Protein backbone atom coordinates (compact mmCIF):
# COMPACT_ATOMS: atom_id res chain seq x y z
CA UNK A 1 0.00 0.00 0.00
CA UNK A 2 1.59 3.34 -1.06
CA UNK A 3 2.22 5.68 1.86
CA UNK A 4 0.79 8.59 -0.15
CA UNK A 5 -2.77 7.20 0.11
CA UNK A 6 -3.68 7.83 -3.53
CA UNK A 7 -7.14 9.21 -4.35
CA UNK A 8 -7.70 6.60 -7.08
CA UNK A 9 -8.37 3.98 -4.40
CA UNK A 10 -11.63 5.81 -3.62
CA UNK A 11 -13.03 5.99 -7.13
CA UNK A 12 -15.05 2.76 -6.85
CA UNK A 13 -17.45 4.15 -4.26
CA UNK A 14 -16.80 7.90 -4.54
CA UNK A 15 -18.20 8.25 -8.05
CA UNK A 16 -21.36 6.33 -7.15
CA UNK A 17 -21.82 8.23 -3.89
CA UNK A 18 -21.36 11.68 -5.42
CA UNK A 19 -23.61 10.81 -8.35
CA UNK A 20 -26.29 9.40 -6.04
CA UNK A 21 -26.24 12.34 -3.63
CA UNK A 22 -26.25 14.90 -6.44
CA UNK A 23 -29.13 13.16 -8.19
CA UNK A 24 -31.05 12.84 -4.93
CA UNK A 25 -30.75 16.56 -4.20
CA UNK A 26 -31.36 17.79 -7.75
CA UNK A 27 -34.19 15.48 -8.80
CA UNK A 28 -36.12 15.69 -5.53
CA UNK A 29 -35.68 19.44 -5.04
CA UNK A 30 -36.66 20.07 -8.65
CA UNK A 31 -39.75 17.91 -8.33
CA UNK A 32 -40.73 19.62 -5.08
CA UNK A 33 -40.10 23.05 -6.58
CA UNK A 34 -42.45 22.18 -9.43
CA UNK A 35 -45.35 20.97 -7.29
CA UNK A 36 -44.91 23.78 -4.76
CA UNK A 37 -44.90 26.40 -7.51
CA UNK A 38 -48.08 24.80 -8.88
CA UNK A 39 -49.76 25.42 -5.52
CA UNK A 40 -50.34 21.82 -4.46
CA UNK A 41 -51.29 21.19 -0.85
CA UNK A 42 -48.65 20.17 1.69
CA UNK A 43 -49.70 16.47 2.06
CA UNK A 44 -49.49 16.01 -1.70
CA UNK A 45 -46.13 17.78 -1.83
CA UNK A 46 -44.66 15.67 0.98
CA UNK A 47 -46.01 12.42 -0.47
CA UNK A 48 -44.52 13.35 -3.83
CA UNK A 49 -41.15 14.01 -2.23
CA UNK A 50 -41.19 10.78 -0.22
CA UNK A 51 -42.14 8.76 -3.29
CA UNK A 52 -39.30 10.40 -5.21
CA UNK A 53 -36.85 9.51 -2.42
CA UNK A 54 -37.82 5.83 -2.28
CA UNK A 55 -38.16 5.31 -6.02
CA UNK A 56 -34.97 7.21 -6.76
CA UNK A 57 -32.89 5.30 -4.23
CA UNK A 58 -33.97 1.95 -5.67
CA UNK A 59 -33.55 3.22 -9.22
CA UNK A 60 -30.01 4.42 -8.53
CA UNK A 61 -29.12 1.16 -6.79
CA UNK A 62 -30.41 -1.00 -9.62
CA UNK A 63 -28.89 1.22 -12.29
CA UNK A 64 -25.47 1.21 -10.64
CA UNK A 65 -25.58 -2.53 -10.00
CA UNK A 66 -26.59 -3.39 -13.57
CA UNK A 67 -24.08 -1.06 -15.20
CA UNK A 68 -21.14 -1.96 -12.95
CA UNK A 69 -22.02 -5.66 -13.18
CA UNK A 70 -21.92 -5.36 -16.97
CA UNK A 71 -18.47 -3.78 -16.65
CA UNK A 72 -17.39 -6.58 -14.32
CA UNK A 73 -18.66 -9.20 -16.77
CA UNK A 74 -16.70 -7.54 -19.57
CA UNK A 75 -13.53 -7.51 -17.45
CA UNK A 76 -14.01 -11.19 -16.60
CA UNK A 77 -14.50 -12.05 -20.27
CA UNK A 78 -11.28 -10.23 -21.19
CA UNK A 79 -9.39 -12.05 -18.45
CA UNK A 80 -10.70 -15.38 -19.73
CA UNK A 81 -9.53 -14.52 -23.26
CA UNK A 82 -6.12 -13.64 -21.87
CA UNK A 83 -5.97 -16.86 -19.83
CA UNK A 84 -6.67 -18.96 -22.93
CA UNK A 85 -4.11 -17.02 -24.95
CA UNK A 86 -1.46 -17.67 -22.31
CA UNK A 87 -2.22 -21.39 -22.45
CA UNK A 88 -2.33 -21.64 -26.24
CA UNK A 89 0.60 -19.39 -27.23
CA UNK A 90 2.75 -18.39 -24.25
CA UNK A 91 5.68 -17.32 -26.46
CA UNK A 92 3.56 -14.80 -28.34
CA UNK A 93 2.17 -13.47 -25.09
CA UNK A 94 5.70 -13.08 -23.72
CA UNK A 95 6.67 -11.11 -26.84
CA UNK A 96 3.55 -8.98 -26.43
CA UNK A 97 4.36 -8.20 -22.81
CA UNK A 98 7.95 -7.35 -23.74
CA UNK A 99 6.80 -5.00 -26.53
CA UNK A 100 4.46 -3.24 -24.14
CA UNK A 101 7.28 -2.59 -21.70
CA UNK A 102 9.55 -1.34 -24.50
CA UNK A 103 6.84 1.10 -25.61
CA UNK A 104 6.78 2.46 -22.07
CA UNK A 105 10.48 3.28 -22.22
CA UNK A 106 12.20 0.13 -20.94
CA UNK A 107 15.24 -1.01 -22.93
CA UNK A 108 14.60 -4.22 -24.93
CA UNK A 109 17.00 -6.48 -22.95
CA UNK A 110 15.65 -5.26 -19.62
CA UNK A 111 12.06 -5.44 -20.89
CA UNK A 112 12.59 -9.07 -21.90
CA UNK A 113 14.05 -9.95 -18.52
CA UNK A 114 11.25 -8.12 -16.70
CA UNK A 115 8.60 -9.81 -18.85
CA UNK A 116 10.04 -13.22 -18.01
CA UNK A 117 10.05 -12.47 -14.28
CA UNK A 118 6.52 -11.04 -14.36
CA UNK A 119 5.29 -14.09 -16.28
CA UNK A 120 6.93 -16.46 -13.84
CA UNK A 121 5.41 -14.63 -10.88
CA UNK A 122 1.82 -14.30 -12.21
CA UNK A 123 1.37 -14.28 -15.97
CA UNK A 124 -2.34 -13.45 -15.97
CA UNK A 125 -1.93 -10.58 -13.51
CA UNK A 126 0.95 -9.17 -15.55
CA UNK A 127 -1.08 -9.14 -18.76
CA UNK A 128 -4.17 -7.84 -17.00
CA UNK A 129 -2.20 -4.85 -15.73
CA UNK A 130 0.04 -4.14 -18.73
CA UNK A 131 -2.22 -5.09 -21.62
CA UNK A 132 -5.76 -4.53 -20.31
CA UNK A 133 -5.13 -1.89 -17.65
CA UNK A 134 -7.02 -3.95 -15.06
CA UNK A 135 -5.92 -3.73 -11.43
CA UNK A 136 -7.39 -4.79 -8.12
CA UNK A 137 -7.84 -1.13 -7.13
CA UNK A 138 -9.92 -0.30 -10.19
CA UNK A 139 -11.88 -3.55 -10.39
CA UNK A 140 -15.63 -3.16 -10.77
CA UNK A 141 -17.61 -3.79 -7.55
CA UNK A 142 -21.35 -3.84 -8.38
CA UNK A 143 -22.75 -4.23 -4.85
CA UNK A 144 -20.48 -1.56 -3.40
CA UNK A 145 -21.53 0.89 -6.11
CA UNK A 146 -25.24 0.04 -5.68
CA UNK A 147 -25.26 0.49 -1.90
CA UNK A 148 -23.20 3.69 -2.01
CA UNK A 149 -25.44 5.20 -4.68
CA UNK A 150 -28.72 4.26 -2.96
CA UNK A 151 -27.63 5.54 0.46
CA UNK A 152 -26.26 8.74 -1.02
CA UNK A 153 -29.43 9.35 -3.06
CA UNK A 154 -31.68 8.88 -0.03
CA UNK A 155 -29.52 11.20 2.07
CA UNK A 156 -29.47 13.84 -0.63
CA UNK A 157 -33.22 13.61 -1.28
CA UNK A 158 -34.01 13.94 2.43
CA UNK A 159 -32.61 17.48 2.52
CA UNK A 160 -35.05 19.19 0.10
CA UNK A 161 -37.85 17.05 1.55
CA UNK A 162 -37.03 18.49 4.98
CA UNK A 163 -37.13 21.98 3.48
CA UNK A 164 -40.60 21.31 2.08
CA UNK A 165 -41.80 19.90 5.42
CA UNK A 166 -40.51 22.85 7.45
CA UNK A 167 -41.21 25.66 4.98
CA UNK A 168 -44.49 27.33 4.02
CA UNK A 169 -47.02 25.72 1.70
CA UNK A 170 -47.58 26.87 -1.86
CA UNK A 171 -45.18 28.80 -4.11
CA UNK A 172 -43.52 30.46 -1.09
CA UNK A 173 -42.21 27.03 -0.10
CA UNK A 174 -39.94 26.94 -3.16
CA UNK A 175 -37.47 29.33 -1.51
CA UNK A 176 -36.50 27.20 1.53
CA UNK A 177 -36.32 24.07 -0.63
CA UNK A 178 -34.07 25.82 -3.12
CA UNK A 179 -31.90 27.42 -0.44
CA UNK A 180 -31.34 24.17 1.45
CA UNK A 181 -30.74 22.22 -1.76
CA UNK A 182 -28.24 24.72 -3.18
CA UNK A 183 -26.35 24.77 0.11
CA UNK A 184 -26.25 20.96 0.06
CA UNK A 185 -25.08 20.91 -3.57
CA UNK A 186 -22.30 23.35 -2.79
CA UNK A 187 -21.22 21.27 0.18
CA UNK A 188 -21.37 18.09 -1.89
CA UNK A 189 -19.22 19.64 -4.59
CA UNK A 190 -16.62 20.73 -2.04
CA UNK A 191 -16.63 17.39 -0.22
CA UNK A 192 -16.40 15.30 -3.37
CA UNK A 193 -13.56 17.45 -4.68
CA UNK A 194 -11.57 17.16 -1.48
CA UNK A 195 -12.06 13.40 -1.27
CA UNK A 196 -10.97 13.07 -4.88
CA UNK A 197 -8.13 15.60 -4.73
CA UNK A 198 -9.76 17.92 -7.30
CA UNK A 199 -10.19 21.74 -7.30
CA UNK A 200 -13.01 22.44 -4.81
CA UNK A 201 -14.28 25.73 -6.22
CA UNK A 202 -14.84 24.39 -9.71
CA UNK A 203 -16.67 21.31 -8.43
CA UNK A 204 -18.98 23.40 -6.22
CA UNK A 205 -19.72 25.82 -9.06
CA UNK A 206 -20.69 22.96 -11.39
CA UNK A 207 -23.04 21.48 -8.83
CA UNK A 208 -24.70 24.82 -8.11
CA UNK A 209 -25.08 25.72 -11.78
CA UNK A 210 -26.80 22.53 -12.87
CA UNK A 211 -28.86 22.13 -9.70
CA UNK A 212 -30.10 25.71 -9.85
CA UNK A 213 -31.00 25.34 -13.53
CA UNK A 214 -33.01 22.16 -12.86
CA UNK A 215 -34.95 23.69 -9.96
CA UNK A 216 -35.62 26.89 -11.89
CA UNK A 217 -36.92 24.99 -14.91
CA UNK A 218 -39.34 22.79 -12.96
CA UNK A 219 -40.54 25.69 -10.81
CA UNK A 220 -41.32 27.56 -14.03
CA UNK A 221 -43.26 24.59 -15.35
CA UNK A 222 -45.23 24.43 -12.12
CA UNK A 223 -46.10 28.13 -12.30
CA UNK A 224 -47.13 27.87 -15.92
CA UNK A 225 -49.58 25.04 -15.23
CA UNK A 226 -50.63 26.36 -11.80
CA UNK A 227 -52.75 23.28 -11.04
CA UNK A 228 -53.59 23.80 -7.37
CA UNK A 229 -55.50 20.88 -5.82
pLDDT, one tens digit per residue, over 145-158 is 888 889 999 999 99
For residue 49, the model assigns a pLDDT of 93
136, burial (CB in 10 Å: exposed 0-12, middle 13-18, buried 19+): exposed
For residue 133, the model assigns a pLDDT of 75
- Look at residue 208 and tell me if it is in a domain: yes
Given a cut of 90, is residue 47 above it in pLDDT?
A: yes
Alpha-carbon gap, residue 159 to 174, rounded angstroms: 13
Domain count, the chain: 2
For residue 53, the model assigns a pLDDT of 94
Q: 159 and 59 in one domain?
A: yes
Q: 195 and 173 in one domain?
A: yes
Q: 147 and 65 in one domain?
A: yes
- Look at residue 126 and tell me if it is in a domain: yes
Nearest to 222 by CA among 46, 42, 38: 38
For residue 214, the model assigns a pLDDT of 85
The rounded radius of gyration (Å) of the Cα atoms in the chain is: 24
Nearest to 30 by CA among 2, 52, 4: 52
Note the Cα 177 to chain centre separation in Å: 24
Instruction: Tell me the CB-side half-sphere exposure of residue 44, using CA atoms within 13 A.
Output: 14
For residue 32, the model assigns a pLDDT of 93
Instruction: Tell me the CB-side half-sphere exposure of residue 227, using CA atoms within 13 A.
Output: 7
- Look at residue 3 and tell me if it is in a domain: no
pLDDT, one tens digit per residue, over 117-137 is 988 888 888 888 887 777 665
Average pLDDT for 48-68: 91
Q: 215 and 183 in one domain?
A: yes
Least confident of 1-5, 126-130, 190-194: 1-5
**Domain containing residue 100:** 79-130
Nearest to 161 by CA among 26, 46, 51: 46
For residue 1, the model assigns a pLDDT of 42
pLDDT, one tens digit per residue, over 10-25 is 455 567 777 888 889 9
- Look at residue 7 and tell me if it is in a domain: no
Amino acid sequence: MPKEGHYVTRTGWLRAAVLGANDGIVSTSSLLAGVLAAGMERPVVLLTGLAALVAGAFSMASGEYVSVAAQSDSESADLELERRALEEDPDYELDELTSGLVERGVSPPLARAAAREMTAHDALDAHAREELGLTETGAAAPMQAALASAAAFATGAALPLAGAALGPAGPAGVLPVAALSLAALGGLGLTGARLGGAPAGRAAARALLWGGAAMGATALVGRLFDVAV
